[in-house]
Structure 1
Amino acid sequence: MATLRQFEYLVTVVDTGSFTRAAERLHVTQPALSHQVRALEGSLGGPLLERLPRAVRLTPLGRAVLPHARALLADAERLHAAARRATGLEEGELEVAAVHSVALGLLPPVLRAWRARHPRVRVRLREYPHEELLRAATAAGRADLAVGPRPDEWDGPVRELGVEEFALVLPSDDPLASAPGGVLPLAALADRDWVHYAPGHGLAEVLDAACARAGFLPRAAVRTEQTAAAPVLAAAGLGPALVPAAVLPPALDAAVLRPDPPVRRPLAAYTRTRPDRLTTAFTDLLAETLRL
């Protein structure tokens, strides 16, 4: 029967890229490490790793097993952390995953408040450009808590946080910068070249969907992988940008308008399993601080 230690050995070999480095990290001999990986392969019915001259490569079976191995190790770590907290040891590490716009615009005040309340609990933040990557990473056990767009289908607990508002950014001297009431119909920008987002970035889909509802497909003047770069590029005159309002720099020299119709996306915090007290406390602080 496969053991948790054998799964740890497999994950470490994959993460380090070699049996030698994995053995050094785990403080075991390389023959002992190789023996345990072979035993795991025997238990699971086939090779998990292809041993190349200077590297290792996952086999199809290895690629199928690896996410579950990571999840098992994460669950074991959470079990130990929960036990430590139950005995009064309020220290450890909480792993939080979020999409870029949330990590950049919404989480900083939450993390500041968290540190003030729980200075001995470290937070490890993982950032993802797309909600599907966030969801997949959380399902694979790479985080205790995910914060991002509300997942359409999710088997674990989900707590709704509210909605993320989007704003339009134009140069200050743009003819449409002084739109009445600070509201600008998206259709008014149908003939513009936009500051767009790179393929695979979740906000590219948000922009395309919003413009499609307004009756056009946005042309890209430039595409960026960085959420924070979009409003700066728009302010520089490269084209209008649709950005999460929370990521706007306070001293941005640009016109910031509300799109008509409004662009919003629901946000939620979700976990794979029933959250422990620490994860619940962070989620409570999220809801209390954001008040979206």
Structure 2
Amino acid sequence: MITLRQLEYLVSVVEEGSLTRAAERLYVTQPALSHQLRALERSIGGPLLERLPRSVRLTPMGRALLPHARAALDSVRQGQAAARQAAGAEAGELRIATLHSVSLGVLPPALRVWRRRHPGVRVHLVEHRNSGELAAAMGEGRADIAVGPPPVGWEGPVCVLGVEEFLVVLAAEEPGPATAHGDGGPPRIGLAGLADREWVHYGPGNGLAVVVDDACAAAGFRPRAAVRTEQTASAPVLAAAGLGPALVPANIVPVAFGGRLFRPDPPVQRVLAAYTRIRPDPLTDAFIDLLQREASMMPGHVRRQLEGG
């Protein structure tokens, strides 16, 4: 019979990369850990891990079992959280998966309010480089909720938070439209007029690299990179320093900022959503509700609410 403890041991070994570190994390002896893993392998009917001199590697059977093990552990945690909420207990853990750019924008104000209202709930935030990694992590049960662009064909519940606007950042001394737009916002700028510039671009693993490439392709050119950064927060700073134009989410631009801001014409936008694998438990549902309210008040967002999945 397979036990949750055995599944927890397997997941811990995979995440730590060795039996020794997993045993330390779980506060058990390494022989006890190995015994439970062997029992799990007997129940499954074959080896799950290949023991290497300094690490371990999943076998094909292990790779097939891992997402189900994570999903089983996730369901138990969600059940615990739901039970605590039903009993009126303000305790538990909320695991949030997101993108680096989103963790700089919509999430901080929401987490600040959440922490004030639910001090007994631990928050585990994991940031991913792009939407594909985010959806994969959520599909494998590594989080209670994902916050980012909604994946195509997602079968679980999806709550659209809004449309994230992007801005072009230039150094203060660089040429560009000199007058503000009539509505009081940043002036507009056509990306085609920046085709001959070298850009502050993102590394290939950063999901914003695709946003930049697609926007420039729509304007008829492929951007040449003066510098590439994996850190989303660095892009507006590097652009303001004169290294080239950058396209950044509006809500990550620092308050004290020395560069010039422009709105792309046509606009560059990205839908953001909160999505889960199954119907949210009360704890997760409360966070989604808070996230909706906070997102609606942020600059660079147009509030739209939609339930689906």
- Report the residue type matching 1:273 in the other structure: I
What residue ranges of structure 2 are gaps of 5+ in the alignment?
182-186, 302-309
Match of 2:23 in 1: 23
Supply the distance in 2 between the matched residues of 1:6 and 1:13 (Cα, whole angstroms). Answer: 11
Match of 2:239 in 1: 234
Match of 1:53 in 2: 53
2:267 is aligned with 1:266: no
2:77 is aligned with 1:77: yes
| TM-score of the aligned structures, taking structure 2 as reference length | 0.90
- Report the residue type matching 2:236 in the other structure: P
The alignment-based identity, stated in percent, is: 65
2:148 is aligned with 1:157: no
Supply the distance in 1 between the matched residues of 2:51 and 2:80 (Cα, whole angstroms). Answer: 33
Q: How is 1:88-103 mapped onto 2 (pairs within 5 angstroms)?
A: 88-103=88-103
**Matched residue of 2:243: which SS?**
coil
* Structure 1 residues 14 and 150: CA distance shift in structure 2, 3 A: closer
Supply the distance in 1 between the matched residues of 2:41 and 2:87 (Cα, whole angstroms). Answer: 37
Supply the distance in 2 between the matched residues of 1:209 and 1:57 (Cα, whole angstroms). Answer: 37
Give the alignment partner of residue 249 of structure 1, picking from 226, 230, 254.
Answer: 254
**Matched residue of 1:206: which SS?**
helix
Q: CA RMSD in A?
A: 1.6
Supply the distance in 1 between the matched residues of 2:247 and 2:159 (Cα, whole angstroms). Answer: 26
Q: Is the 8 A contact 2:81 2:281 kept in 1?
A: no
Match of 1:195 in 2: 200
* Structure 1 residues 171 and 27: CA distance shift in structure 2, 3 A: closer
**Matched residue of 2:242: which SS?**
coil
Q: How is 1:162-177 mapped onto 2 (pairs within 5 angstroms)?
A: 162-177=162-177
What residue ranges of structure 1 are gaps of 5+ in the alignment?
none
Q: Is the 8 A contact 2:169 2:260 kept in 1?
A: yes
Q: Is the 8 A contact 1:156 1:271 kept in 2?
A: yes
- Report the residue type matching 1:212 in the other structure: A
- Tell me the CA shift for residue 150 of structure 1: 1.8
Give the alignment partner of residue 214 of structure 1, picking from 214, 219, 222.
Answer: 219
Q: Is the 8 A contact 1:91 1:120 kept in 2?
A: yes
Supply the distance in 2 between the matched residues of 1:187 and 1:21 (Cα, whole angstroms). Answer: 53
Supply the distance in 1 between the matched residues of 2:251 and 2:150 (Cα, whole angstroms). Answer: 17
- Report the residue type matching 2:208 in the other structure: L
Provide the aligned length of Structure 1 versus Structure 2.
292
| TM-score of the aligned structures, taking structure 1 as reference length | 0.95
**Matched residue of 1:236: which SS?**
helix
Match of 2:32 in 1: 32
Q: Is the 8 A contact 1:13 1:22 kept in 2?
A: yes
Supply the distance in 2 between the matched residues of 1:101 and 1:17 (Cα, whole angstroms). Answer: 28
- Report the residue type matching 1:216 in the other structure: F
